[in-house]
Structure 1
């Protein structure tokens, strides 16, 4: 991905809140309503959910939607430093701002990110069809404050790491997938949903090779999580995002295949995938013997008698 991937500063833009929905009988809120009550932009709210900072519950109406319990809203509001601390904890920055926070050059910042030392929390595809990676500001500060990382922030990059970069190493997509899988597993309330979360990061050919039963594959598809939206379906941006969301490194593919096999086995043990019911074959209708049947029966008995006579 290093050939068509760039990073630069881009603060998360506000998304329209849209029409809010009322609370349900149990007091839970729709995401738009919850974001407003917490003083967050929708993009900030979604990232907080992604990071596990805001807990969600399944929507009783189904459809894979999630809601936020009223008790969760109150818990967050009672947190220390609310709302500033909550917003600061989900602040995502790009390369320019991230490098400034760490007091390093943009080039060094990008090298650290490609080496997997800085883990992106989200990405988007810009109008130039290039991937823009965003990172948590808090995590960048923590990295820079750790004295063990001082050699990486100043001086020459160690030779072994320079060689890996020269060979095109870029761990940003892989580390984002790992983080995204953690989010999907936290949201999964069903054993088949957990298996589908793992399957969502594998090429369909790999999934078919691991899950040979067509009914189980079909059941997995029902629980497959919706991918993050990046452009209209089939657009260059959507295809590039799909490439990022699909494991490519052989060792990553291997451990995902193993995890998928284990997850399907666990799901199968708890609740087998549904299969079409076998329809019983109806018995032929009863009918009365006809004169033709009697003649045929007589001929058969005569033939049988002659055969037995010859053998004796």
Structure 2
């Protein structure tokens, strides 16, 4: 049975119960929360996020429930995505590796191969835009893309990270330390220690650390591969995350200095990686030629590196003085 919240006028239920009442599989429910389609509230008992009964009633009373909600969280892999866009799987993979199609989640199959999943709704939108027609129907992909792929470019991991950090910071809400922890969890611990030299602050970030998707038993080869995918690795990406962490830390220190309250007891080891939830705008890709940005002043929100627009790539190529191959 569902457990109500501490106030009688705001009953809530656990995510598993909410998923059943919304006729969603658990993965669909988590993705709907990530995308902001289902609003959650904090559990006052410290047990994680919960869903208000009023939110469930709102969704169930919506037009087309539950089909429309299911359609908005439908995901597809490469083969089905290529079919939706009416392109060959190789063309689909090229567009995704270059960063024009942004994955929303991933899993590891039994061979420990990464399988990226995309929102079917976004793929349909991409294919419907006239400015993308050449990318889908031209005999050859634009030279800019071919050159990048020949050099081994694969922006799928970083685009997933860019999207997921938006999920996590949205879940953090108004807690500045939780927002800083959301950024820190996608950085290598050495980078975090460099930006946050105070062990008390690092302990607070560890306490606020969000849960990341789990893949395999802790310490297994699958878990290690997943952790690698979930850690910023490219120099300009790392630089951006470091600058963003520095900025969010300044806000957290200003609003809630560590000295004002008791610090949590630091955990004895890394927190287990388990599923999370919340939402974000679609991440965009970054050209390989983008230089590593210098850390931004903490007084200003660091801007991400110049993106390659995921839509209208042909016009972007023309502005750069390059003619796409036909």
TM-score (ref. length: structure 2): 0.77
> SS state of the match for residue 68, structure 1?
strand
Structure 1 residues 164 and 74: alpha-carbon distance in aligned structure 2, compared to 1, 3 A threshold? same
1:154 matched residue in structure 2 = 137
2:154 matched residue in structure 1 = 170
Q: Distance in 2 between matches of 1:72 and 1:116?
A: 35
2:112 matched residue in structure 1 = 129
The answer to whether structure 1 residue 246 and structure 2 residue 231 are counterparts is yes
Aligned pairs for 1:1-312 within 5 A: 21-24=2-5, 25=8, 26-63=10-47, 65-155=48-138, 156-189=140-173, 190-274=175-259
CA contact (8 A) 1:177 1:201 kept: yes
Q: Distance in 2 between matches of 1:58 and 1:227?
A: 17
Q: Distance in 2 between matches of 1:160 and 1:32?
A: 46
Q: Distance in 2 between matches of 1:251 and 1:76?
A: 40
> SS state of the match for residue 116, structure 2?
strand
CA RMSD of aligned residues (A): 1.4
Q: Distance in 1 between matches of 2:74 and 2:209?
A: 29
Unaligned runs of 5+ in 1: 1-19, 278-312
Structure 1 segments of 4+ aligned residues over 6 angstroms from their partners: none
CA contact (8 A) 1:219 1:274 kept: no
CA contact (8 A) 1:120 1:172 kept: yes
2:324 matched residue in structure 1 = none
Give the CA deviation at 1:80.
2.3
Give the CA deviation at 1:90.
0.3
Q: Distance in 1 between matches of 2:130 and 2:261?
A: 61
Structure 1 residues 44 and 150: alpha-carbon distance in aligned structure 2, compared to 1, 3 A threshold? same
CA contact (8 A) 1:59 1:67 kept: yes
Q: Distance in 1 between matches of 2:61 and 2:165?
A: 29
Unaligned runs of 5+ in 2: 263-326
Q: Distance in 1 between matches of 2:82 and 2:50?
A: 36
CA distances 1:31-50 after superposition (whole Å, capped 9, x unpaired):
01101111111111011001
* Structure with greater helix percent: 1
CA contact (8 A) 1:77 1:83 kept: yes
TM-score (ref. length: structure 1): 0.80
Q: Distance in 2 between matches of 1:160 and 1:37?
A: 48
